[in-house]
Amino acid sequence: MTTRYDAIIVGAGQAGPPLAGRLTAAGQTVAVIERKLVGGTCVNYGCIPTKTLVASAHAAHLARRGAEYGVGTGPVTVDMAKVKARKDGIVSGDRGGVEGWLQGMDGCTLIRGHARFTGARTLSVDGGDEIEADRIFLNVGGRAVVPDIPGLSEVDYLTNVGILDLDTVPEHLVIIGGSYIGLEFAQMYRRFGAEVSVVERGPRLASREDDDVCAAIKEILEADGIAVHLGSNDIRVSRDGSGVAVATRADGPVVRGSHLLVAVGRQPNTDDLGLQVAGVDTDARGYVVVDDELRTSVEHIWAMGDCNGRGAFTHTSYNDFEIVAANLLDDEPRRVSDRIPTYALYIDPPLGRAGLTEAQVRRSGRPALVGKRPMTRVGRAVEKGETQGFMKVLVDAETHRILGAAILGVGGDEVVHCILDLMSADAPYTTMTHTVHIHPTVSELVPTMLEGLRPLS
């Protein structure tokens, strides 16, 4: 038996439900298939739970610093069970909201189970009856990479999913991987009271960033008491009593801990969908190959979100939905290549990024200007007692358009948007320097920084 819909959406992450909303509003029947939890990574394992934990960790950190502000707090303790319960409540509420939205959507059918292609236009769910549609949209997300590290299979370890279930603070958390996910967990658990060690194979933390940003991130984390082991090019894992031992390199230290978190990257959930049956091409890493409008190698199939390799963030996934909906329903040509790369690292203080890094600008060979300002020279940061980090902006010397920015400092994840919006408007940087900003804010120093541009040598 085959049930027919106008469209099938596989995966209920950030792009799937809003697309279902647009399609059903246009009078189409839609099946949304989800094999695990509605809401995808963001709601269940990513943005929502981790930023909830970051907020609890920040509260503990400020409480310990109370005397600096003239506030007496006494001994600070962290009840991890209550921290987890708060996180679980927020996640449950968000997931329930998305579920209710889909279930109340006229013309939408939410199907629970694992979908696999049985043909170019047909899928089965858990091997049962087939469903069919002329348009199919993949929004299947990604998962943690489990690296081939000697000894890893012989010990208990956590990924970004399992660590969210901890209801006690580890005695010593060892993290393999010094990039965005690992660093966020490193700082939050240090502030919860754990000893924390980060073991990174490369020579820098957050290696995608510029050298000065990487160095400042390391300084911030070490100031919190986190041990950082860079250049760990021979990582090996073994049992150590009830815990783990992580060898860093042949002549390097062995880090012993009670818990191990592996955070070395992500991979797409595309290996068990039967894509080859439908003729959908993937690249060497398993990402679905898409064009600038997110069509796959099969004209009637699209791929959105983490599974297409065009952005591994909630905001890029949602923008994927917007691009698909604009082209299909609004006769509005929108393309992936139109968007400006932007993201944040949610350590404290956070890093907000937009556009090109300094290294990318240098490689481009274009004449450029650079402005930089330490947070110690930002009045609002001084008033708040949060002066770690700096702001940096890069400008095309000929067109006066902003090429990129890094805001590593208090409010950096919000401040970067005034730069991002200016870039999106394709306006010269002088538009901002001629704009009155509110005092006292962090953002008001961005125009000041732009007034002090110098050639990028």
Catalytic residues: 439
d(Cα 306, Cα 311) in Å, to the nearest integer? 6
Quick one: tokens of 226? 């986190």
Q: Which residues contact 127 (CB under 8 A, 6 or more apart)?
A: 116
d(Cα 163, Cα 165) in Å, to the nearest integer? 5
Residue 308 DSSP SS3: helix
- Other CB atoms within 10 Å distance of the CB of residue 197: 22
Adjacent-strand bridge partners of 110: 32
Residue 13 DSSP SS3: coil
The structure tokens 């966020």 sit at: 184
d(Cα 194, Cα 178) in Å, to the nearest integer? 17
8 A C-beta contact, residue 129 and residue 307 = no
Q: CA nearest 234: which of 149, 316, 134, 153?
A: 149
> How many Cα atoms occupy the beta-carbon half-sphere of 368 within 13 Å?
23
d(Cα 64, Cα 75) in Å, to the nearest integer? 8
Quick one: tokens of 269? 């959930």
8 A C-beta contact, residue 194 and residue 166 = no
For the chain, how long is the longest CA-to-CA vector?
Answer: 71
Q: CA nearest 324: which of 292, 297, 286?
A: 292
8 A C-beta contact, residue 120 and residue 40 = no
H and E: helices and strands count for the chain: 13, 24
8 A C-beta contact, residue 450 and residue 429 = yes
d(Cα 183, Cα 34) in Å, to the nearest integer? 30
- Other CB atoms within 10 Å distance of the CB of residue 311: 19
> How many Cα atoms occupy the beta-carbon half-sphere of 432 within 13 Å?
28
The structure tokens 């003729």 sit at: 279
